[in-house]
Amino acid sequence: MFIDQVKVFLHAGKGGNGCVSFRREAGVPRGGPDGGRGGNGGHIDFIADEGLNSLSFFRFHPINKARNGAHGEGSNRQGKQGADLELRVPVGTVVKDIATGEIVHDFLRHDERFRVAQGGKGGRGNASYATSTHQAPREFQKGAPGEEKELFLELKLIADVGLVGFPNVGKSTLISKISAARPVIADYPFTTLIPNLGVVDLGGMNSFVVADIPGLIEGAHLGHGLGIHFLKHIERTKLLVHIIDVSPFTGRDPVEDFEVVMRELEAFNPVIARRGQILVANKIDLLGRDKRRLAAVRQLAAAKGIPFFALAAVKKEGLGKLVKAVADAVERLKAAPSTEGRA
């Protein structure tokens, strides 16, 4: 199950209470206080795990508590420390405080660890209150409560390239042909219901990650179709590959399709709309002799200064040139200093 946003309640462990005790042994008439301190409560840590791609664990476990520290004991024995709780989240998870709306942490690397809730300290036992003038103290300290946090977790997939376009233009077909990703592919709209990630391996150390985003339609920012819920998954991408279906069977104007998608991107986040793009005309194998739709998209790309490629993804026609161009663009963008804030 793909879950990309959840609310969670975290409760770190409470510290154990200090102990009131006096040493009582034969031959030791004035043993004095020997109450130990309580153990500290367990902390809660988040750890980023690149093997995870969903927040589904928290959907079914929204409340998570660390262990409390044990109470102190006589003979100056300190209570046992409460066990820490480690919770794994996908790389790309953003942790927000629900009360303030502030970003607490953003996980960008595998095995990155962040302590999200601090366990309470154990209380002092009466042995620690003994002084030369107060030799039989009965004071003790209760353990401190652990931190309680109500957080919002939001997953934003980390990919180099985002595929955007209307439903059924061939995004899923393209990612399946250039990577090992196996999304659901069918000849009806909204086949893709969740984002898909694919790694394009160019041999050696060269590779890039592609995200296939469920299709947009006009009014997506108002909730039409699948809305723009999944567009957050291309906020971290360096490059957009904008795919247009130029076959005559859509009943739509391919140039208008481009403008509609761009308006929806602008409505969601203007930073994404200004990101570098490559324009792809797909399904050229279905054009027949009438090439006017292809020519219109080619002219559009030339007018806007966008690199253009024509292909038939299902037959793998033109994929080699496109993949090389995308890889080169990604390498240039990785090498260039960032000029925009994180989306």
Strands (E), the chain: 5-11, 44-49, 63-65, 85-90, 93-97, 103-106, 113-117, 148-155, 161-164, 196-201, 207-212, 239-245, 277-282, 308-311
User: Residue 94 — pLDDT band, cuts 50, 70, 90?
Assistant: very high
Mean pLDDT of 328-332: 90
- Residue 338, pLDDT score: 58
The pLDDT of residue 224: 53
Report d(CA 242, CA 125) in Å as an integer.
67
Amino acid code (one letter) for 148: E
The rounded mean pLDDT for the chain is 86
- pLDDT of 235 reads 84
pLDDT of residue 188: 39
Please compute, for residue 258, the number of CA atoms within 13 A of its CA located in the half-sphere on the CB side.
Answer: 25
Domains and CATH numbers, the chain: 5-155 (2.70.210.12), 161-335 (3.40.50.300)
pTM of the model: 0.73
pLDDT at 290: 84
Of 22-31, 104-113, 273-282, the one with minimum mean pLDDT is: 22-31
What would the mean pLDDT of 77-91 be, rounded to a whole number? 95
> CB count, 10 Å around CB of 99?
9
Average pLDDT over residues 231-252: 88
Whole-number Å distance between alpha carbons of 124 and 79: 10
Residue 230 has pLDDT above 80, yes or no: no
Q: Is the pLDDT of residue 144 over 80?
A: yes
Task: State the pLDDT at residue 185.
Answer: 44
Q: Counting beta carbons within 10 angstroms of the beta carbon of residue 112, is it exposed (0 to 12), middle (13 to 18) or buried (19 or more)?
A: middle
Give 4's pLDDT tier (boundaries 50, 70, 90).
confident
Query: Lowest-confidence range among 40-54, 202-216, 248-262?
Result: 202-216
Work out the average pLDDT over 184-211.
65
pLDDT of residue 342: 44
Q: How confident is the model at residue 61 (pLDDT cuts 50, 70, 90)?
A: very high
| Contact indicator for 157, 230 with CB cutoff of 8 Å | no
3-state secondary structure of 174: helix
pLDDT at 279 over 80: yes
Check residue 221 and give its pLDDT.
54
Assess whether pLDDT exceeds 80 at residue 137.
yes
Among candidate residues 236, 246, 249, 258, the one with its CA nearest the CA of residue 338: 236
Mean pLDDT of 133-158: 93
- Confidence check: pLDDT of 192 > 70: no
When mean pLDDT is compared across 44-53, 84-93, 265-274, the lowest value belongs to: 265-274
